[in-house]
Structure 1
C-alpha cells in the first residue's frame, strides 16, 4: 500500500505546478492585447476659447501612431462646415500634427482617426471656439447749428459662441478571451485535484480491506 501511494504523492506537486504554468502562459499574452492606445492631450485643448485660429493642431497619444499613408485622418471645420485643414496630417512617433489655414469665427469642430501601435484604429472628436470680432461703431454726426458735443455710440460686443461638444473617444471593449482562458485553466486544476483526492481515497479503502482479511 505504501509503495503505491508514494508515486501519487510525488505526482501531486508536479500536476499543480503544470496547471499554474498553463494559466500563466494563457493569460500573460492575452492581457496586453485587450488594451489599446489612447489620446493623451491636444493643443489647443478641448473647449478652449482662442483669440484667433491657430496655425496647427497637435495631438499627443500614449504610444507611437502607425504612419501608414491614409491611415491618419484629421478633419477641422468651422461653424459653417467649411474645411480649415491644410494638407495631410504629419505623424512623428506619438505626435500627430495638422496644419490649419484661413480664419474662423465661432465653434471649430475637430474629428480625428488614427491607427494605434497595435494596429487597431481609434478615433474621437472635440471642439474649441474662436470669438467673433466686435463690429466697429459708426461715428454719430454732430449738428453744425448746435454747439452741443457729439454723442458717442454704445457698442455691445457680440456673444461668444459656446463650443459644440466635449471630446468623446471611442472606447474599446476589453476582449473576454483572458477570462475564458482563466476559467478553462481553473477547471483543469480543480479536475486534477478532484482526481487525485478520489484516487487517494480509493487507495486507502483498498488498503483497509487488505489489512482486515486474514492470511491463509
Structure 2
C-alpha cells in the first residue's frame, strides 16, 4: 500500500525548483545593466609634462562611442582659461580626437563628454602641462643704456602651474544586487509556506470521517 506521505515528500523538490527558476529569471537580466563604457587611455596621458602643445589629443574608450553630431564635447583650456581647441571633435569607433591650436602656457585641462554604446552619457577630465612661455623683452629706448637697465627690462618667467587632478569618472549607478537578493529570499519563503500548507491535508478519524490536524 502506497504511503500517504509520498506525494507530500515529492512536493518539496518541486517547490525548491520553482523558487530557483524564479530567482534566476530575476538575476540574469539585471547583470548586463550594471556596467557602462569607460575611458581607458589618453594621448597625452594625464599629468604628462610636454615640451610643446601637441597637434591633437586622443581619447580611447572601452567600446564604440556614438558619432552623432553634438554627442561628443571636448573642452581644452590653458592655465589662463583660453580655449585651445581647433574645430569639432571626431569620433571613430572607440577613439575620439580633437585638434589643438594656440600658444599654450602652463597646465592644460581637458574636459570631455561622450555618449557610450549603450546610450548612457559619460564624462570626465584630466590635465597635462607645457612650459610657460616667457614674454618678449621690451627693446631698450636708448642705445647707450647701461647693462643694468637692460637686464631689468627682461621679465622673469612665471612659475609653472601645478597640473590638475587625474581623470575623474562619473559615479557608477547603484548595484541592483541587494534588491535581487531580497526578491530571491521572498520567493524561497513563499515556496516553503506552500509546502507547509500542502502537507497539512485532511486525515481520517476513528469514526470514518475526516479531520484536520
The answer on whether the counterparts of 2:23 and 2:187 sit within 8 Å (CA) in structure 1 is no
Local SS of the residue matching 2:48: coil
* Residues 68 and 3 (structure 1), Cα distance of their counterparts in 2 relative to 1, 3 Å cut: farther
Q: Using the alignment, how far apart are the partners of 1:191 and 1:4 within structure 2?
A: 24
3-state SS of 2:129 partner:
strand
| Superposed counterparts of 1:61-140, under 5 Å | 61-133=61-133
**1:96-137 Cα distance to aligned partner (Å, 9 max, x none):** 111111220111111100111111101011111111145788
Would the aligned equivalents of 1:26 and 1:182 in 2 still touch at CA under 8 Å?
Answer: no
- 1:146 counterpart residue number: none
Q: How far has the Cα of 1:198 moved from its partner? A: 4.7
Distance change (3 Å), C-alpha of 1:70 and 1:136: closer
Partner residue of 1:183?
182
8 Å CA contact 1:131–1:161 kept in 2: the answer is no
Residue 37 of structure 1 aligns with which residue? 37
**Residues 159 and 80 (structure 1 numbering): CA distance in 2 closer, same or farther, change over 3 Å?**
closer
CA deviation map 1:159-210 (0-9, x unaligned): 332113332111122243x43233123211122123313543x35xx65x75
- State whether residues 132 and 160 of structure 1, in contact with CA within 8 Å, keep that contact through their aligned partners in structure 2: yes
Contact 2:44 2:128 in 1 (8 A): yes
Q: Are residues 1:18 and 2:8 paired?
A: no
2:191 is equivalent to residue 192 of structure 1: yes
Summarize the Cα distance change of 1:26–1:70 in structure 2 as closer, same or farther, 3 Å threshold: same
State the SS of the aligned residue for 1:98.
Answer: strand
CA deviations 1:70-106 (Å, max 9, x no partner) are: 1110011112222111111111211111111122011
**1:54 alignment partner in structure 2:** 54
Structure 2 vs 1, CA of residues 175 and 194 (structure 1 numbering), >3 Å: closer, same or farther? same
Q: Which ranges of 4 or more aligned residues in structure 1 deviate by more than 4 Å?
A: 1-4, 134-138, 155-158
Deviation at 1:9, TM superposition (A): 2.5
Identify the structure with the greater helix proportion. 1
Distance (Å, rounded) in 2 between the aligned partners of 1:2 and 1:198 = 21
- How many residues end up aligned between the 2 structures? 201
Q: CA deviation at 1:4?
A: 4.2
Superimposed CA distance per residue, residues 20-70 of structure 1 (whole angstroms, 9 cap, x where no aligned partner): 111111111112102111111111111111100001111111111111211
Unaligned ranges ≥5, structure 2: 139-143, 209-213
State TM-score, norm by structure 2: 0.79
Please list every run of 5 or more consecutive structure 1 residues that lacks an aligned counterpart in the other structure: 144-149
